[in-house]
A and B are shown apart, each in its own frame.
Chain A
């Protein structure tokens, strides 16, 4: 078994769907942060069978929780201070997300208008449905 050491200050994203940690890494723009990141794939999980884990050594404020919640609000966010878990952050589906994903409808104005932000609005909280603000196309959330 592979061992990845503790982090002193930062956050651990646990219970990530197996195989999706790398796309999460990009969506959270962790590639732009100058800090230590551990990507653990296919770790054993009693709850999920297999899971991914991200360990990031930086301030929690640098994490966009809205993006994280949009991608998968079942992810556990553990805030670490002095090597210990001090808080578990609740993820709530954001009402609106901006420039995280692109509208795939080829008839949408976002496909031609320059520098138009791609905005998606939560239209059905129960079914977790997001729609493009402009063309109302439903988002497929398997990202």
Chain B
């Protein structure tokens, strides 16, 4: 039995298989619509996350399975002081697979050690959010046709953004990737990531202005400057509008550059960009469902037909 705690839990070859399956689901959804009949997914969300929870639920329903769960700690037994270990033992009796989001880092790993069903980390604090990374990778692979040989710009909050850190860790396993980190000084990419890139001889640049690096990008990954990551409101207000992608900036970009964003966006991408064919962030949401469908099938070890 396997769990998913980090995007690096799967080898590059295993990811290829998972993405092939996701693309097959996209092309032939009917083939998979009964594959999870009689199976139940528990969504254990100790903190609210509409997007991720609905994506998991949509994925399970599209596979013919059923869903049960809770969507905040207040409505679960955690409010009465139950441990994650006890909760997952109970959930293991109710469901066949579990997706867990928890504000405490490492909580899904604790669950995985006690569970008798596969556990998927659906986000644990500022630590990991592997299904977002799988979504990003599937989107890039599906729309670009490859996961190697490109220059990717990562823009916004690179200090606290766990999606950015996870994506970098996942992409360094592919050939000929160049990173351009676009952020204000206060939200620079952490040193440990810079050290890792240097140790692996992976090219990268750190820049302050978004426009300057636009022409050389194959991909632009935008992120939100999250209010909850700041200790004081003043810093948040000062930095949140630092990098806004609009039509004018898009004019400097290549014809085939893609814009990705883990969503929700606040105002870092102007709505006028939404109709640009290079804006891929809503298609990314759809790929998020396909990759979760593929993941559920894979972890439940189900065969189509």
Whether both chains belong to one complex is answered with yes
A residues contacting B by CB (< 8 A) are 105, 107-114, 116, 132-137
How many A-B contacts at CB < 8 Å in the complex? 49
Binary flags per residue of B118-141, CB closer than 8 Å to A gives 1, else 0:
000000111100000000000000
Given the complex of chains A and B, what is the CA–CA distance between A135 and B102 in angstroms?
Answer: 12
Asked whether A107 lies within 8 Å of B85 as measured between CB atoms, the reply is no
Asked whether B110 lies within 8 Å of A108 as measured between CB atoms, the reply is no
Given the complex of chains A and B, what is the CA–CA distance between A135 and B5 in angstroms?
Answer: 11
Within 8 A of A (CB), among B51-107: 83-85, 102-107
Given the complex of chains A and B, what is the CA–CA distance between A133 and B108 in angstroms?
Answer: 12
Does residue B109 face the partner (Cβ distance < 8 Å to A)?
yes
B residues contacting A by CB (< 8 A) are 83-85, 102-107, 109-110, 124-127
Asked whether A109 lies within 8 Å of B126 as measured between CB atoms, the reply is no
Closest chain-B Cβ to A107's Cβ sits at a distance in Å of: 5
Chain B residues closer than 8 Å to A114, beta-carbon distance: 83, 85
Closest chain-A Cβ to B99's Cβ sits at a distance in Å of: 17
Instruction: Known pairs A107-B126, A109-B102, A109-B104; list 13 more (Cβ under 8 Å).
Output: A107-B104, A107-B125, A108-B105, A109-B84, A109-B107, A109-B110, A113-B83, A113-B85, A113-B107, A116-B85, A133-B106, A134-B105, A134-B106
Chain B residues closer than 8 Å to A134, beta-carbon distance: 105-107, 109-110
User: From B127, which residue of chain A is reached at the shortest CB distance?
Assistant: A135
Kindly name the residue among A111, A113, A137 whose own CB sees the greatest number of chain B CB atoms within 10 A: A113
Chain A residues closer than 8 Å to B85, beta-carbon distance: 113-114, 116
User: From B111, which residue of chain A is reached at the shortest CB distance?
Assistant: A109
Chain B residues closer than 8 Å to A111, beta-carbon distance: 104
Kindly name the residue among B104, B107, B125, B126 whose own CB sees the greatest number of chain A CB atoms within 10 A: B104
Asked whether A135 lies within 8 Å of B83 as measured between CB atoms, the reply is no
Kindly name the residue among B102, B105, B109, B110 whose own CB sees the greatest number of chain A CB atoms within 10 A: B105
Chain A residues closer than 8 Å to B83, beta-carbon distance: 113-114
Given the complex of chains A and B, what is the CA–CA distance between A113 and B126 in angstroms?
Answer: 18
Q: What 9 pairs across the A-B complex have the smallest Cβ distances?
A: A134-B106, A135-B105, A109-B104, A109-B106, A109-B107, A135-B106, A107-B125, A107-B105, A114-B83
Given the complex of chains A and B, what is the CA–CA distance between A132 and B127 in angstroms?
Answer: 12
Given the complex of chains A and B, what is the CA–CA distance between A135 and B109 in angstroms?
Answer: 9
Q: Which of B104, B109, B125 touches A133 (beta carbons < 8 Å)?
A: B109
